[in-house]
């Protein structure tokens, strides 16, 4: 017994030390301690990039570490989204996504390919903007209004085309909704993002695009392009002269939003800090000024409200994608 007692005490002491070490190892670190990468899954010039860059600068100020934007384009945003979904959940890789994040996993299933990521691999932090998509043509096009545009499409199936940010992206899906509702056919030309699609429109490679106001309002003000209609409800503050499809009797609606996400396993102490920083960014005067001047006012949602919104929209967009069917 004299030998067992000291051994027991030693074992107890060792166990206590191990528990203490484990507790220290699991204690929240002082995040962030190094630069953070914000993946924008589209090329420069699109909505995600226009929103992401001023938000990244504001997050840098709020968190005390650089937040560096990395444009990782391709597959309608799917490549960049998948990269973040599969990244280490340590708070150092974050995602500024558009509403196409709700579409891509279902689109993968519809076309019969392996899903690049699943929605439950990502966790919403904050929504910054939400705008109806706008139908735009070049200023020198023969279509002065939507009525003349749709008449030409119906009279000439396949003669005209439209550009998008990629198959099933936020510039593609609303056009497929319009084609289905109005019963006309246009050829789809997918690009790698909104920026290249807008360049294609301005250069005459495509006849029309559907895009968010923030990526096109400056071209409208410059007289280079003309907005014919939008997928919202009521009139837009940035272009009050443009009618909605709903007021013209076309029952379709689509909103292009921009929101911040992290891998779903990211610890709560990190997501809480990031939520607070995102809230500060949404209220930052420099952020609001840049995004407002681009024609896309801040419509902030914190994580709990944004999660409810995202879940509902993902279900709706899944139905839309299944209705569109396989697109080559």
Residues 292, 283, 278: CA angle, nearest 5 degrees: 110
CATH of the domain at 143: 3.40.190.10
**Residue 33: pLDDT over 70:** yes
Please check whether residue 89 lies inside any domain of the structure. Answer: yes
Distances (CA, A) of 4 to 10, 13, 16, 235, 287: 10, 14, 18, 83, 68
d(CA 129, CA 19): 46
- Give the residue ranges of DSSP H helices in 92-250: 104-111, 146-155, 173-182, 194-202, 213-221
Strand 36-40 vs strand 67-71: parallel, antiparallel, or unpaired? parallel
Domain boundary among 248, 265, 294: 248
Task: Give the pair of three-digit tokens for residue 123.
Answer: 């966790």
Say yes or no: 238 and 262 in one domain. Answer: no
Q: Is residue 178 part of a domain?
A: yes
Query: Is 242 within a domain?
Result: yes
The band of 8, judged by pLDDT with boundaries at 50, 70 and 90, is: low
Instruction: Spell out the long-range contacts of 232-237 with Cβ–Cβ below 8 A and sequence spacing 24 or more.
Output: 232/131, 232/132, 233/132, 236/131, 236/132, 236/134, 237/297
Give tens-digit pLDDT for 240-279: 999 999 999 999 999 889 999 999 999 999 999 999 999 9
Q: Which two tokens stand for residue 284?
A: 């930052």
Which pair of structure tokens corresponds to residue 122?
A: 């990502």
Write out the residue range of the structural domain in which residue 199 sits.
134-248
Q: Is residue 117 part of a domain?
A: yes
Q: What is the pLDDT of residue 146?
A: 98
Domain C-terminal end among 225, 248, 271: 248
- The answer to whether residue 140 scores a pLDDT higher than 70 is yes
Are 77 and 44 within one domain?
yes
How many folded domains does the chain comprise?
2
What pLDDT score does 190 carry? 94
What's the CA gap between 282 and 251, in Å, rounded? 32
Higher pLDDT among residues 195 and 224, named by residue: 224
The C-alpha atoms of residue 165 and residue 77 are separated, in whole angstroms, by 8
Tell me what pLDDT residue 75 has.
Answer: 85
Nearest residue to 134 via CA among 260, 290, 282, 296? 296
Q: Do residues 214 and 161 both lie within one domain? A: yes
Provide the 3-class DSSP secondary structure of residue 214.
helix
Strand, helix or coil for residue 16: helix
pTM reported for the whole predicted model: 0.79
Q: In what order do the strands lie in the sheet with 67-71?
A: 67-71, 36-40, 93-98, 255-263, 122-132, 298-302
| Residue ending a domain, choose from 197, 221, 248 | 248
CATH of the domain at 266: 3.40.190.150
């Amino acid at each position: 017994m004299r030998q067992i007692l000291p051994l027991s005490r030693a074992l107890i002491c060792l166990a206590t030390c191990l528990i203490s070490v484990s507790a220290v190892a699991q204690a929240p670190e002082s995040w962030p301690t190094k630069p953070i990468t914000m993946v924008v899954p589209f090329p420069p010039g699109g909505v995600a990039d226009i929103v992401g860059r001023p938000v990244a600068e504001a997050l840098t100020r709020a968190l005390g570490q650089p937040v560096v934007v990395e444009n990782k384009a391709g597959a309608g945003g799917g490549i960049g989204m998948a990269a973040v979904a599969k990244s280490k959940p340590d708070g150092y890789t974050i995602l500024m996504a558009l509403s196409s994040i709700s579409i891509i996993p279902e689109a993968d299933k519809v076309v019969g390919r392996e899903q690049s990521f699943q929605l439950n691999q990502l966790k919403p932090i904050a929504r910054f903007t939400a705008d109806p998509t706008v139908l735009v043509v070049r200023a020198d096009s023969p279509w002065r209004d939507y009525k003349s545009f749709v008449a030409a499409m119906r009279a000439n199936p396949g003669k005209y085309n439209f550009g998008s940010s990629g198959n099933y992206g936020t510039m593609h899906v609303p056009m497929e909704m319009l084609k289905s509702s109005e019963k006309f056919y246009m050829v789809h030309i997918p690009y790698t993002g909104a920026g290249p699609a807008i360049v294609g429109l301005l250069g005459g490679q495509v006849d029309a695009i559907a895009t968010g106001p923030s990526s096109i309002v400056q071209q409208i003000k410059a007289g280079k392009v003309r907005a014919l209609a939008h997928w919202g409800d009521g009139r837009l503050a940035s272009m009050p002269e443009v009618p909605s499809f709903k007021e013209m009797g076309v029952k379709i609606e689509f909103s292009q939003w921009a929101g911040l996400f992290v891998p779903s396993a990211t610890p709560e102490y990190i997501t809480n800090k990031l939520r607070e920083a995102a809230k500060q960014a949404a209220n930052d005067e420099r952020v609001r000024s840049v995004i407002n001047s681009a024609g896309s006012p801040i419509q902030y949602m914190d994580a709990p409200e944004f999660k409810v919104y995202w879940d509902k929209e993902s279900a709706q967009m899944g139905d839309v994608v299944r209705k569109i069917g396989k697109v080559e």
